[in-house]
Structure 1
Amino acid sequence: MKNRGGILICTTVLTILLGMSVVTENAKADTVATADQSVLSEQTTSTTPNEPVTNPVTTDQQRSNPVDDALTVPTPEVGQQPGGNWNIYPSSATPQDNYFYYVNQDWLLKHANDQGTDNYSIMENKTDNNLEKDLSDISSGNKSADSATKQAADYYQKYLTTLNSKKPDIQSFKKDIQEIDSMKDYSDLNSNMEELINGNLNTPFLITAEPVLTNNLKNRLTFSVTSATNKLPTLGSDDEAIATRDLYYENMPKLFRMLGFDEVKTKEILDNALTFADLISRNSDSSLVDKDPGYKQNIVSISDFENHFSNVDFLQYISNSFPSATDIRIDDPTFYDNYNNILSKPNFEKMKDWMLVSDVLDNYYVFGKTGKGAVQNLVQEASDTNEGQALDATSDGFRTILSKYYAENNLNGKTTNRIESLVDNIISAYKDNIQDNSWLSNSGKTQVLNKLSKINVKIGGPTEIKGVDDFSSIKFSKDASIYDWDKQIDQYIGQSVEKDFTTTNEKGMWTMASYEANANYNPTENSITIPAGLLQDPIYSESDSDSQIYGSIGAIIGHELSHAFDNNGSKYDENGNYRDTWTVAVRAKFDELTQKMVDEYNGIKFDYLVENGQQTLGENIADNGGLNVALQVAKSLSDFDAKEFFSAYAANSRMIPGYYVESDYATDEHTIGPIRINVALQNIDDFYTTYNIKPGDAMWLDPSKRVRIW
């Protein structure tokens, strides 16, 4: 099954989550706000590395201490930088040396051999295990649930049974593959376009529906690159590329053989697919997709769009599916401009073979044990347990249904009330801060306060299932294959999105999984979401003191609110439309302050990683604002304990880094956890008085270099 937005869903252009981030283009990954849109995940995407976690570098200092060796980060010999001293062992750290090490030393020692582990991955593993057991019990009848959850549980069990099968049912998939293979020219592609787009099959283009950036109550079509989930190997000459291609040629024939292709034909298909994938890569520019959405809105009329293509005819598809559409946004202008060269008549067979291979790769699970074994080293998700894969697939299709179930069974009213109170107190303090702000003009304060007062707060999970998430009309046959079930879901979603294209978009819909250990701010809705999955130990416990609560979940809430006023979120108005309401003078002052923050983080060295202050600016602004406002509220408590507050904050981002984790952070929007904690605290004056930190201490930062924006 394609991920939800792989077919035409897009209720959100941009969603920001709270910690480690991933930009996904919809493909069996968490879509949060749906569809093949850029999704900026914020804080708690697990730090589990994409590569083996063996650290290839061991220093002499590390060898000398077998207990702490995995935890010591060698810092280059440079002048004192923000972030503390990383040339010490956690067990000997003091607040003056390295606060992250000082607070988390016991946890770091416990997990010393678990590179890639952090608080959030541990929480999510626990949640996933519980959900897997619940779904299994519900499907077998050992646990009761409503009909929607029972349907999701049956899907989970069907998917899991397929993965475990030595003789899976591939007949429906085989039939679709044969139909693709039988295409003779572009006229065949054109006549089958609606079935391809709304079904479970890949095309070298994607047409989605999304809210209009400047008027999110209305929808607009978007044209972008390829609907395939998993990328094919590249034609690169480096060792990794060669090794991946070797695995591709060794294993993919096993699956094509099951589909009835002979060895010679398969080799030709595999060759053509790589050539076409390379052609797409060389004639597109994904860097434009992730830019500020206001960078350049490439909008063309439907008639100009339809006339742009030589061989591919979108006229009938758009006329039938979206007859009211008047224009379309071009996600990647480079791809659009080169499209006729990519899909030229001489390239038809290559395109068709790319479709065959990408469909087989994306639907490997329908081949059962053989399929998983074949793509083990080609598809990242295939390295997960069968239960984990089945849960991820179920989450892709039944996210809102599972979210309602999880929240109802894992969040009590007492916790909800406490979090609601925290949110109210933090928003109130934020308003006070804006009133006292020294750099905003009066009109600027009015605009910020107006937006702050209209932020929609969602806590826990959805309370109802409606619209495109309501699968009650879908009847699954027990005798059908998992592929058949996926097609039913995809076709239903595609038809629903087509039907709803002209309706006014409903705001406040729950789009984030309630079982995520995460939180988000959605600028296109001006909303924050605090899901039930985040409200568990160690981030939240009913037994925690108020000081601890504000240092932990309170700072997270403040972080999400601050995203409304970071370098990206501040360009959306109170209704979530892309409209900069600030004056030129206010924007200039804000840019001046944020440049100080860029300079503060830029160039900080952490083991293999060098921080990029511009790349991480939005998250650093949110950390700074969230920590300040949470501290402000906490200090008003009669029993406030500063050490409890700061230590709870430092425990939020506990993690065991390593080479591959740090490599991921090199392109991430977030500062790596240890640096993230220490530098955020170095900007807080109360932190210095609480721990008697003085000039010359590694955790000291001169007052002139401390930054506060909100």
Structure 2
Amino acid sequence: MNGQKKLKQKTALLLAVILIAALLTGCQPRDIQMQFSAAADQAEAIGDYLHSFNQSMGQTVSESGLPMDPSVMKPWINTTIYGMVTDEINADIKDDLYLNVNHDWLRDAEFRPGYASEMRLLEATDIVRERCQKLLADKTLLQSEDPQVVHDASLIQGIYELFLDWEKRNETGVEPFRPLVEKILAVDSMEAVTELLLSEDYFFWGAFPASVSLGTNAEDSSLYEVKIGPTALLTYGDAAEYKEETPNGKRNREYADGVARYMFSRFDISDTDAECCLEDAYAFEEQIAESEKTVLESYDPAALKESINPVTMDELKEMSPNFPLTDFMERYGYAESRLINISEPKWLPALNALYTEEHLDELKAYLLKGTVSGLISYVDEEAYRTQQRLSNAASGITENQPDEEIAYTLALSMFPDSFDRLYIREYLSEDIRQEITKLCEDAIETYREMLAGTEWLSVETRNKAVNKLNHMTIHAVYPDKWEDDSMYAIKAREDGGTYLEAIQDISESSFEVAMSHINGTVDKEIWGINILDTNAYYNPTDNSINIIPGFFCDVTYRSDMSIEEKYGALGTVIGHEISHAFDTNGAQYDENGNVADWWTEEDYAAFMERAGKLVDYYDQVVGFDDGTPSNGQMVQTEAIADMAGMKCMLMMAEKIEGFDYDTFFRANAKLWSRVNTLEATEAMVMTDSHPMHYLRANVTAQQFDEFLEAFGVKPGDGMYLAPEDRIAVW
């Protein structure tokens, strides 16, 4: 995807995601058989409790007011679904750690306006937003003697104010885009389609049926390459949905079609023509989806190496003689790259086969739907409110997020470095960076001890794993080096600037930055992340852990925390991020961030067998009352990291006399406290690589004797898992 369209789609998606507000924390077929006696014991214990509860209530699920029937769920109630926790729904800590520790919070939690999730971690988001709102309002920054401060303030304040300038945005409405839409409507031949796709106005604002972008080379992460990815599936976003629609897919389709219908009406396209367009666009997507990976397939560990397919321009021309991919790349400079990769090589010939007169109407409909739908974020308040309403309905949200919060989040996504530098200047110190760095160093050293005691690994592979640890980079709190962003400028509202013009200028500058990296080398001293995200990261391409201030709040890190709280909260997160270097995705990267085979064949087989046991366990989890099981393949990387991260902290705890394990496990369970709307929960299990939060607390804790001993957990208790049934990979 070109630089402009990357930004356009990022912004459009961002606005939808903000409205959904499904924040994530953390940061990806087997024949192995396993006995689930312990899991069955847990399910029976919870089932007995629920049976007695239902008997005492004497009510159906609908009469009791619960959103789902908990008796179907196993091995625990899915208490991340909003409304599942009442005064009566509770459990002993021996049966359900997450519910017991978080009961009152889960029962009383309320959603913020515009959010489909509520978490204790959102306190960190609040802290950052409140501080950044002060930066947005502080006009004295524009008078600073430091030119960098003036530059940063002008960018963030400029785009923030232009987004909120409804008066000016309402004046222009959709009119700036009418010529482009009319150009699409006038297409009457494949030659005209090609001319459209290669035109400059379409380059900026149109829906191109392929992704062309710049990124790091998988096998040499010091180099940039052009990456070619498959056609965006506008209706569902997942190829699997075109074969069997899920409830989440149905909501996605209602949202996507609702946006398109509204935007068709804004461009005076009749209802009849609009419905024909939706049908034709869907037919095109349905056909191209057959050649694309599903979301679930993309989480298969094998998908990483399957996505590495270097090609030349000549080979691309052979794969796609009709669809003008190479013409597009030549026109806009991507063809100059010496390194080009196509992630799904089966897709491009399939797209090429559809690029014919026979499919003209379907292709034209896809381009029209994708383009007008993508414009909804850029026009007037009526369009914005319509998107807000449709997104809220799809996510179970009942109250709009304030416009000022939306504008702030948009500005933060556009200019993260500017916010970061101003935030560091105002609120951060070197002391906190040193403390976080020390905790990371201690965790890495403990991980060396973990690896030394891993008996199922050969000495050869163990040494290479330690070598990867030795090369791991710690990105603690904030960087010292930044990408050059001097080419960005925003014409302020008081100077006659408009939101649409600003987006165009940002797009052009973003494309300029992207093109400057063609055939260049990656500067790994530049972190390339937003340090104000409520998150923490492991980046496999530079083998770094990223522990950043956007994650800090009372539940994760305070200077006055007890050591048990620090280890149980931020400590397990640090251990989690280190562990991503050795999950089923990260394990395929070497110490330099390159995809490479550094395991012996026997060790890798043993590793995947252990991961398979974890996948099989999660495949037995039922979190919804329709009985549909969870999917272990989707959550395996995060589950592996959760357990290894906790093991790392427990090994550190062994060295502390009188360590309070009760406090440690409670702190970890509080870290994961979260409720979502039912709609958001269903969406997450279809697309999110993280286990549901009650599983992140419970499944992780039950792997360790320290938990069982701290709370007296015995066989038959809901939290008990026999040693032979445990699934921790490390």
Q: TM-score, normalised by structure 1?
A: 0.82
1:276-291 equivalence runs, <5 A: 276-284=281-289, 285-287=292-294, 291=300
2:704 to 684, 687, 692: 684
Aligned to 1:52: none
CA 1:155 to 1:377, structure 2 compared with 1: closer, same or farther past 3 Å?
A: same
Which of the numbers 43, 48, 52 marks the counterpart of 2:25?
A: 43
Could you say which residue in structure 1 is the equivalent of 2:336? 324
Point out the more displaced range, 557-566 or 500-509: 500-509
| Partner AA of 1:342 in structure 2 | L
Give yes or no for contact 1:555–1:629 (8 Å, CA) kept in 2.
yes
Give the distance between the partners of 1:70 and 1:251, measured in 2 at CA.
32
1:95-114 counterparts in 2 under 5 A? 95-111=93-109
- Against the structure 1 CA distance between its residues 141 and 430, is the aligned structure 2 distance closer, same or farther, given a 3 Å change threshold? same
Cα distance, 1:371–1:207 mapped onto 2, change above 3 Å: same
Q: Secondary structure at the match of 1:294?
A: helix
Post-superposition shift, 1:570?
0.5
Q: Does 697-706 or 513-522 show the bigger shift?
A: 697-706
Contact 1:75 1:606 in 2 (8 A): no
Q: 1:227 to 1:682 in 2, by over 3 A?
A: closer
Report deviation, 1:203. Answer: 1.5
1:391 and 1:654 map into 2 onto residues whose CA distance is 26
Q: Which amino acid aligns with 1:669?
A: S
Is 1:214 equivalent to 2:219 in the alignment?
A: yes
Give, as a single letter, the amino acid of the residue that structure 2 aligns with 1:216.
Answer: S
Report how far residue 557 of structure 1 moved.
Answer: 0.3
Answer yes or no: is 1:74 the counterpart of 2:94. no
- The answer to whether the 8 A contact 1:137-1:143 is kept is no
Q: Counterpart of 2:18?
A: none
What is the identity, as a one-letter code, of the residue corresponding to 2:286? S
Residue 7 in structure 1 maps to residue 6 in structure 2: yes
Opposite residue 670 of structure 2, the aligned amino acid is: A
What secondary structure is seen at the aligned counterpart in 1 of 2:383? helix
Query: 1:293 is matched by which residue type in structure 2?
Result: L
Asked if the contact 1:90–1:102 (Cα under 8 Å) also holds between the matched residues in 2, the reply is: no
- Structure 1 residues 5 and 201: alpha-carbon distance in aligned structure 2, compared to 1, 3 A threshold: closer
Q: Separation in 2 of the partners of 1:90 and 1:279?
A: 51
Structure 1 stretch 662-671 or stretch 528-537: which is displaced more?
A: 662-671
Q: Does residue 642 of structure 2 align to residue 659 of structure 1?
A: no
Aligned residues: 667
Q: 1:408 to 1:537 in 2, by over 3 A?
A: farther
Conservation of the 8 A alpha-carbon contact between 2:141 and 2:150: no
Measured on the aligned residues, the alpha-carbon RMSD in Å equals 4.2
Alignment equivalent of 1:306, drawn from 299, 317, 330: 317
Measured after TM superposition, the shift of residue 416 of structure 1 is: 2.0
When residues 340 and 587 of structure 1 are mapped into structure 2, their CA distance, relative to the original with a 3 A threshold, is closer
Alignment-derived partner of residue 41 in structure 2:
none
2:320–2:349 contact (8 Å) kept in structure 1: no
2: CA distance, partners of 1:530 / 1:593: 28
**Aligned pairs (5 A) from 1:164-183:** 166-168=170-172, 170-181=174-185
Q: List per-residue Cα deviations over 1:15-52 (Å, max 9, x = no partner).
A: xxxxxxxxxx9564569xxxxxxxx996258xxxxxxx
Aligned: 1:641 with 2:660? yes
Pick closer, same or farther for the CA change 1:142–1:641 going to 2, 3 Å: farther
CA distance in 1, matches of 2:574, 2:565: 14
Partners of 1:131 and 1:333 in 2: how far apart?
44
Aligned pairs for 1:330-345 within 5 A: 330-345=342-357
Residue 336 of structure 1: CA displacement?
Answer: 1.1
Contact 1:297 1:329 in 2 (8 A): yes
**How far apart are the structure 2 equivalents of 1:492 and 1:376?**
29
2:306 to 281, 284, 295: 295
**Residue from 264, 273, 279 that aligns with 1:268:** 273
CA distance in 2, matches of 1:147, 1:178: 38
With 543-552 and 378-387 compared, the bigger mean Cα shift is at 378-387
Change (3 A) 1:112 1:293: same
Q: Does 1:398 align with 2:415?
A: yes
Give the conservation status (yes or no) of the 8 Å contact 2:284–2:362: no
Task: Give the C-alpha shift of residue 607 in structure 1.
Answer: 4.5
Q: 1:708 to 1:572 in 2, by over 3 A?
A: same
CA offset at residue 616 of structure 1?
1.9
For 1:268, the aligned partner's letter is D
The answer as to 2:448 corresponding to 1:466 is: no
Match of 1:156 in 2: 160
**Per-residue deviation, residues 39-68 of structure 1 (Å, max 9, x unmatched):** x996258xxxxxxxxxxxx967678899x9
Output the CA distance in 1 between the equivalents of 2:263 and 2:406: 19
Matches within 5 A, 1:400-549: 400-467=417-484, 469-472=485-488, 478-549=495-566
More displaced stretch, 352-361 vs 685-694: 352-361
1:224 is aligned, of 208, 225, 229, to: 229
Tell me if structure 2 keeps the 8 A contact 1:521–1:529: yes
Structure 1 position 378, deviation (Å)? 4.3
Q: Deviations over 1:492-515 (max 9, x none)?
A: 222322232111122142232222
CA distance in 2, matches of 1:388, 1:295: 40
Provide the secondary structure at the position in 1 that maps to 2:418.
helix
SS, match of residue 484 in structure 1? helix
Instruction: Evaluate the alpha carbon distance shift between residue 224 and residue 498 of structure 1 in structure 2; reply closer, same or farther with a 3 A threshold.
Output: same
Q: Do the aligned partners of 2:412 and 2:419 also contact (CA within 8 Å) in 1?
A: yes
- Describe how 1:370-409 pairs up with structure 2 within 5 A: 370-379=382-391, 384-409=401-426
Measured after TM superposition, the shift of residue 672 of structure 1 is: 1.3
Cα distance change, pair 607–633 in 1 and its aligned pair in 2 (3 A): same
1:593-672, aligned counterparts within 5 Å?
593-608=610-625, 610-638=629-657, 640-657=659-676, 659-667=678-686, 668-672=688-692
Question: C-alpha deviations, 1:532-587, integer Å up to 9, x for none?
Answer: 11012221112211111011000000001001001111011011111120001111
Distance 1:256 1:91 in 2: 48
Letter aligned with residue 43 of structure 1: T
Higher relative contact order (CA 8 A, sep 6+): 2
Q: 1:248 to 1:101 in 2, by over 3 A?
A: closer
Task: Give the aligned residue type for 1:286.
Answer: K
Stretch deviating more after TM superposition (558-567 or 402-411): 402-411
What secondary structure does 2:729 align onto? coil
Contact 1:275/1:350, CA 8 A, preserved across alignment? yes
Give, in whole Å, the separation in 1 of the partners of 2:452 and 2:250: 60
Amino acid at match of 2:273: E
1:119 aligns with 2:120: yes
**Partners of 1:60 and 1:193 in 2: CA distance:** 67
Deviates more, 1:377-386 or 1:585-594: 377-386
Q: Percent identity?
A: 20
| Cα pair distance change 1:638/1:235, threshold 3 Å | closer
Instruction: Output the amino acid matched with 2:225.
Output: R
CA contact (8 A) 1:6 1:227 kept: no
Name the CA distance, whole Å, in 1 between partners of 2:318 and 2:371: 28
Q: Secondary structure at the match of 2:225?
A: strand
Give the counterpart of 1:147 among 142, 151, 154.
151
| Larger relative helix fraction | 2
Give the structure 1 partner of residue 594 of structure 2: 577
Counterpart contact for 1:62–1:70, Cα < 8 Å:
no
| TM-aligned CA deviation for residue 270 of structure 1 | 5.7
- Tell me, in whole angstroms, the C-alpha distance in 2 between the residues paired with 1:187 and 1:488: 30
**Alpha-carbon distance between aligned partners in 1 of 2:68 and 2:246, rounded to the nearest angstrom:** 30
- CA 1:418–1:75 in 2, change beyond 3 Å: closer, same or farther? farther
